[in-house]
Structure 1
Amino acid sequence: MTIKLILAGCGNMGYAMLAGWVKSTKLKAAEVLVVEPAEALRSRAEALDCLAVADATGIPADTKPELVVLAVKPQVIREATAAYKKFGNGETTFLSVAAGTPVATFAAILGERTPIVRCMPNTPAAIGKGMMVMFSNSLVSETTKKDVADLLSSSGAVAAIDDEVLMDAVTAVSGSGPAYIFHFIECLTAAGEHAGLPIQTAKLLAMQTVYGAAALAAESGEEPGLLRQQVTSPNGTTAAALGVLMGGDRLKNLVAEAVEAARARSVELGK
């Protein structure tokens, strides 16, 4: 069967995407060639019945992929991309999930006529609950954009932006965002323990409450502000707590400050 997709890198994110594609039948295993130097990681791809090689020199000479997915760490993305230069300036589209690396960097390596899609995923993609945001250069056709979005949808929700500059804001909100939520769970757990709950009970309450609230917000169709109001009885316990969190826009300002710090750092890393 013809190789349609080359996946460069089968680490946590690469493998999560690969498993989603194969298990959802968006791609047949035989249509994917995985390039991964680590034997243990190659074996994971092979367990999905995908062909896997140690480096780009192992790609069959007659391979003409529709898509090359670059799922390697940002620190080595330039070196890794150069190994696929022979597919540049042609009909092959490149999809990068490396944080902070702009489309211009890939174009400089692969050629200015290369169709390139940049994607910012987040870690919940590993369980099919991720948030993927795409930016495509002008050489990517509308059909290819739809095909790439469909492929990414096996890992969660997909959105597109028209201005690459906004990728720094995307990184700050959804890319780094899971860490903010994990820390909130840590804080809510610690607060529950301080209030007298056994640690395991506090942890369960914190995690399930965050999970359930997020699911309700996603599935109810209601605005989060309205859902908040529905939980909040006048002069009740929730109102007392929100008086602390919302007084003087305390939490709103803190989150805004955190997101801005992440956005500014993303700008720095992209230079």
Structure 2
Amino acid sequence: MRGIYHKYLRLPMLIRVGLILFIILITSALLAHFYERKTFPTIFEGFYWAVITAGTVGFGDIAPKTHAVRILAIFLVFLGGAFLAYLTAHFASAVVKNENRFFEGKNMYKNEDHIIIVGWNERSRNTLKSLLNEMTAYHLVLIDHSLKENPLYQNGLHYIQGKPYEDQTLINANIEKAKLVLITADSNLTEQDADMNTILSVLTARGLNENVLIHAEILTKEQTINAKRAGADFIIHTSNLASIEMVKHLKSKYPLTKNGG
């Protein structure tokens, strides 16, 4: 008996409450059949009446005539009201809890052919907003360990909270079914450390999905070869792009020659 009781305690709360309710309804059906055999000629008739009464529907097609069964009906009405209130509160709580998990980046992504963006910074912010506006056919998943909540929740972005070089984080982002991964450099680290983190993230992603396309942002030229060795398909040198843009800007505003003239 103790083993059965412990198994019962391990069941989800909703199932436990449902079992208790079922036992009460069966017991009520047996009592109604025992006290009023004319009104409830079968146990099924008693069970039908108990369910209708507990559900506070009250069709009125079967009505008890004895005081004992009427008292039982009162008990079932209160029980049914309490159970319905519990169900409403339980489902409302489950919806809010699931919404909070989604907002906090704790829900696993389950769709396929999505794009994973690793890292939250100004570059990834602009990239995500552009992709959300221009590539509506693809679902986007953001991975970051520093954010406490989804930064683009209203835009339908799915957020995974965690470090991108940990297997479980990428598994939660459903890396096995992803179409493309874009790994941006961590702006909070030095260039060398940011590149090392990027390479480690590339290794982890490639180990979990051999076929996914991986675009990696590398800040130092020295780590380009290592990023390719780790499994990156495309290397993005944002520092070079920024330098080129600055030189273009200077030339357009202040045309210079070797003689300074």
Greater length-normalized contact order (CA 8 Å, ≥ 6 residues apart)? 1
Common fold, TM-score beyond 0.5? no
Greater C-alpha radius of gyration: 2
Please tell me the TM-score bracket, short chain as reference. Answer: 0.3 to 0.5
TM-score by length of 1: 0.41
TM-score by length of 2: 0.43
